[in-house]
Each structure stands twice: as structure tokens, then as C-alpha cells.
Amino acid sequence: MFNPKKLAKKNFLSSLDMSREEIDYILELAKNFKYNNLEINYKNKILGLVFDKASTRTRVSFQAAMSRLGGSSIDLNPLTSQIGRGELIKDTARVLSRYCDVLAIRTFSQSNLEEYAKWSTKPVINALTDFEHPCQALADFLTIKEEFHELKNLVLTFVGDGNNVANSLIFCGALLGVEVRIACPKGYEPNALVLKKAMEINNNKDFLKVTNNPIEAALGSNILYTDVWSSMGEENQKESKDKDFDGFCINHDLLRKADKNAIVLHCLPAYRSKEITDEIMESPNNRIFEQAENRMHAQQALLACLLK
């Protein structure tokens, strides 16, 4: 029988740090927070935010989530702290874990995140690395579950770069039993180790498909999902990626290939007329802003569990 106490004081560095039962528990808890069916007070708890990359939704949703739990947050800007001057991660982590009860880290490499977790005595949360974005995936599947109620027999199609968001969707899909299709230009497929690991988790060989044909991937899909073509730190590749990703846009024609009740997701920010059209962003199929709101509810549930 699942024991939610097992989540207390755990790190959340990857979607694979949780079992299916633990993810289901967090999604149910998030729903209860969202509809004010539950109140938990962590009055004296402090969340430390260390963001090496720019952020709007992740930063604000974490701060709002912690505030809703009755706690407070400290936002550490590398430009105005010793982190930006080259202080070692192991020194920063050991100090911050004496001030804070939980740390949310947004950094470049997964190895940097793991270094924080190694030296911190408090739970560390992945608020985005170049390899994964597991908090985004929690909000995504919360949104999907709200819309369809059950995850069984659903098809999620991600159109775009096989990036950190795609990796977390693949891992969560493997755990939750959702068929995942990735449509990307040749050379932009997800990490081969991610695909291998996901296939080991989910015994159904048909659960995961990677294709260079977005129309093929969209056929009968319940969820169409996209992200920017050039992630943070890839600004110098923007021109070449814009050419490579031509045709990998969620537009009316692609949406027509999906299921008639399909919804559209985007982790934002969106560049309208590139990876998604303005028409689709404003269409009745759009659940993008519910998805953005659900970042706060999912992270509130995550924080409540880790701080328990």
C-alpha cells in the first residue's frame, strides 16, 4: 500500500524519482489544493530559489505555492549573490540548507543540480535543467487528467525539439501509461538513453514513438503539445533551428488530424506563428493557461509532500 510519508524529505531531480503511485498522489493532492478542499500550514517553512536562468512561471508559481502553504520564499539571484562570483556549489548548498527547508534549483546541467542535492541536507527540487523539467510535467499531467479524468488510452503528441520538456513527458508517460509520440526534425530526437530507459519502464513497446513526420504523429492524438524551438542558451542557433523546424508548427491543419476533442498545450513562453499559430493559441482547444495555472497547484502539492 502506498505511503505518502515516503515522499517527505526526498529530492525531486527527475520525473523518475517518483513512482506512479507517488505521482498519482501528488496530482490528487494538487486538485484538492486547487479547489480549496484542503489546507496545510507550513508557517515557519522557507523555500530557497536559486535560478541561474531566466524564469517567469516557474519562479512565480513556486513563490505563490509556498505562500499558499503559509511559508515564505527567498529568491537568490546569482547576479547579486556570491553564486555569480564562482562560489562552489558544495559551499552554497551547505549554507542554504541551514537557512531554508527546501531548495528549488534552475540551472544549466543536470550534474550541477545533482551536486546541490549531494551537499544539501534539505530536499532539492529540479526547477529546470537542460536535461529535464519534471515540475512542468506534473502540471501537464494534472491538466490532462482534469480534461479527460482518466489517463488510460490517451495519446500525447509533442511537436518540436526533443528537449528537457520532451524528456520529462516521456518519463511520466512511461510511468503513467500514456502513449507518447515525439515529432521532431531529423537530428533533434530525444536523448537515446531517455528513450531506452522509458522503454524499460513501460513494457508496452507501442507506448513510445519518435517520428520526423508531425502529421503522422498527430493522427488521432488526444493532446497536441509544443515548446519553443530554441531553448534558453541556444540563441546562437535560432536562425538555423527556425529553418530546420519549418513545418513543425501546431496549426489548424495539424489540429484537424488529431482527435475531434483534442486539447493543445504549450509550456510557454510561446512564439506565435513559429511553433504554434495565434489562431490555435486563442482556439477553444487551448488549455495552455489552465496548464500554466496548474504549475502553482502541482508545486504546492509537491512542496507539501517534501516538507511533510
Confidence band of 107 (pLDDT split at 50, 70, 90) = very high
* Angle between helix 288-306 and helix 57-68 axes, rounded to 10 deg: 50
- Does residue 305 contact residue 2 with C-beta atoms inside 8 Å? no
Does residue 200 register a pLDDT over 80?
yes
Active site residue 267: yes
| Structure letter (DSSP) for residue 250 | B
| Predicted pLDDT at 160 | 98
Active site residue 149: no
Does residue 41 register a pLDDT over 60?
yes
| Predicted pLDDT at 84 | 74
**Taking all residues of the chain, what is their mean pLDDT, rounded to a whole number?**
95
- SS3 label, residue 105: strand
Percent of the chain scored above 70 by pLDDT?
A: 99
Confidence band of 308 (pLDDT split at 50, 70, 90) = confident
| Predicted pLDDT at 1 | 54
Burial 256-276 (b: 16+ CB within 10 A, else e): ebbbeebbbbbbeebeeebbb
Q: 62 is written with which cell numbers?
A: 513556486
| Predicted pLDDT at 2 | 62
Q: Which of 294, 302, 262 is nearest to 159 (CA)?
A: 262
Average pLDDT over residues 53-62: 95
| Predicted pLDDT at 6 | 79
User: Exactly one of 63, 136, 291, 299 is catalytic; which is it?
Assistant: 136
Active site residue 272: no
Average pLDDT over residues 155-168: 98
User: Exactly one of 135, 227, 266, 297 is catalytic; which is it?
Assistant: 227
pLDDT tens, position by position, 280-296: 999 999 999 999 999 99
| Sequence-ordered list of residues with C-beta below 8 angstroms from that of 201, at least 6 positions apart, any chain | 16, 171, 174, 175
Percent of the chain scored above 90 by pLDDT?
A: 88
Q: How far is CA 230 from CA 221, 236, 243, 273, in A?
A: 24, 9, 11, 14
Q: Which of 199, 101, 137, 99 is nearest to 13 (CA)?
A: 137
Q: How far apart are CA 69 and CA 119, in angstroms?
A: 26
Chain position carrying cell 508548427: 249
| Sequence-ordered list of residues with C-beta below 8 angstroms from that of 265, at least 6 positions apart, any chain | 140, 143, 144, 223, 224, 225, 226, 287, 288, 291
pLDDT tens, position by position, 202-232: 988 899 999 999 999 999 999 999 999 998 7
pLDDT tens, position by position, 245-263: 999 999 999 999 999 999 9
Does residue 14 register a pLDDT over 80?
yes
Q: Where are the alpha helices (DSSP H) in 120-267?
A: 134-148, 164-176, 192-201, 214-218, 238-244, 252-257
User: Exactly one of 106, 181, 266, 287 is catalytic; which is it?
Assistant: 106
- Does residue 53 contact residue 128 with C-beta atoms inside 8 Å? yes
List of long-range contacts for 9-12, beta carbons under 8 Å, 24+ apart: 9/122, 9/123, 9/306, 10/123, 10/306, 11/117, 11/123, 11/124, 11/125, 12/123, 12/124, 12/125, 12/126, 12/134, 12/135, 12/302, 12/306
Active site residue 130: no
User: Exactly one of 100, 249, 267, 305 is catalytic; which is it?
Assistant: 267
User: Exactly one of 295, 297, 300, 305 is catalytic; which is it?
Assistant: 295
Average pLDDT over residues 185-190: 98
At 145, which amino acid appears? K
| Predicted pLDDT at 36 | 93
Domains of the chain: 4-132+295-306 (3.40.50.1370), 136-291 (3.40.50.1370)
| Predicted pLDDT at 86 | 84
At 67, which amino acid appears? S
